[in-house]
Structure 1
Amino acid sequence: MKNYLKKLFKNSDAAGKPSKKAGYIIVIGLIGLLLIILSNVFSTAGSDDNDSTINIDSNETNEQSADETFSNNSSKTSDVDEIEAGYEEDLQEMLNQIQGVSNTEVMVNLESTRVKIYEKNLISGQQITEETDTNGGTRDIEDTQEESQVVLVNQGDKEVPLLVRTEKPDVRGVFIVAEGVDHASVEQRVVEAISRVLDAPVHRVSVMPKN
């Protein structure tokens, strides 16, 4: 290529100015072609980098969503465990006060965490449309719509839902192991006490004598 260019310019000097001008045009054309090739190469590399960045960002977003979901589930599980532990401690202390019952151990299994009930406004609307058929008869079509909205109250510089009450979670089951419950009358008193305190049916309460 180098020898070709030298030969081209040498011939141009011998032939005159037009040939020399043509040589410059060819050189400029080659330089332009080289710039186009380099531009395409860098553009492709940049596109690959952008794709990699997008994939990385997408993976980070998915991981963040998974972490948030796991955190929420862990929080709910922790709340249930805390409520169950509180029930177990209170029941154990209470049952040990019953005559004939001692050395009690209690396990409580709950459905969920506490349920919060918020105040709601009920918005209802009614629309009656009269239609006439081809025979001249008429009929009324009634359309009723209802919508509920949570009531918000001001608390400092923000609005929060108005809490009406908090309901205790339903009890799945209670298992009790204690000394003295091998007597039928004592076992019955224990079952009745647990059933009334937790508002749970008696078939969900199991009482076993301790070794």
Structure 2
Amino acid sequence: MGKSNIKSDLAKVINDKKFLNAVVIALILAFLLLAISFLSTTRKKETEESLSTSVDNSSAIEEAAKDTMSNYEESEKQTLRTLLAKIENVGEVEVMINFKSGEVKVPAIEENTQEALTEETDSQGGNRTTTQKNGGSTVVMAGDGSKNEPYILQVNKPEISGVLIVAEGASSAKVKYDIQVAVSTLYGISIDKVNVYPMKN
């Protein structure tokens, strides 16, 4: 008798429209929660991958810039060493160059200027003229469709702030002065930024 009562109570509850509506609403809510959870996880993964890619790209750009700067510095030192060694009585030379900044790329810029002239007449017959100028500039981009980059007009080499030279013949005041003048002229820096010292025997 107890079992049949339970069965009939269950049948009543299952056939009750309110109960069915509550079950349907609970199922819909559960489905929505699963969908939101899945979408947020997917977006989180995409964001992490995007951040990882941008960090990798910026690291690669920084490494390339360091390599370029290092190669330029080494090339300048070697050229200067070779030139100075050819000056009479200079002998063996060691060079250190200090750069103020890295390589500077100057992009092409398009200037956009607009001018609007407004003339107004008030009720007493007075005239007023207003001129409004709007201007702006944008960087000119160039690319092959898959990749756009700024169009570079010129590349300014790194600016040199000082040079240190150790030379065999620098114990002679004349040789020291000749080295300072040569380096000053070559790099367009003042003589006081060129430090020359004799090499230890």
Q: TM-score, normalised by structure 1?
A: 0.68
Cα offset for 1:99?
0.9
TM-aligned CA distance change 1:208 to 1:131, over 3 Å? farther
- Structure 2 residue runs without a partner (length 5+): none
2:83 aligns to what? 94
TM-aligned CA distance change 1:51 to 1:143, over 3 Å? closer
1:65 aligns to what? 54
AA in 1 matched with 2:115: Q
1:130 aligns to what? 119
TM-aligned CA distance change 1:132 to 1:191, over 3 Å? farther
Bigger shift: residues 134-143 or 168-177:
134-143
1:208 partnered with 2:197: yes
- Report matched runs for 1:20-39 at 5 Å: 24-26=11-13
Larger Rg: 1
Cα offset for 1:185?
1.5
1:105 aligns to what? 94
3-state SS in 2 of match to 1:102? coil
AA in 1 matched with 2:190: P
Out of 161, 171, 177, the position equivalent to 1:182 is: 171
Bigger shift: residues 103-112 or 32-41:
32-41
TM-aligned CA distance change 1:28 to 1:102, over 3 Å? farther
Cα offset for 1:136?
4.4
- % same residue: 25
Out of 69, 75, 83, the position equivalent to 2:72 is: 83
Query: What is the CA–CA distance in structure 2 between the aligned matches of 1:117 and 1:36, rounded to whole Å?
Result: 63
Query: Between Structure 1 and Structure 2, how many residues are aligned?
Result: 196
- Structure 1 residue runs without a partner (length 5+): 10-19
Query: CA RMSD for the aligned pairs?
Result: 3.9
Query: What is the CA–CA distance in structure 2 between the aligned matches of 1:43 and 1:168, rounded to whole Å?
Result: 59
AA in 2 matched with 1:192: V
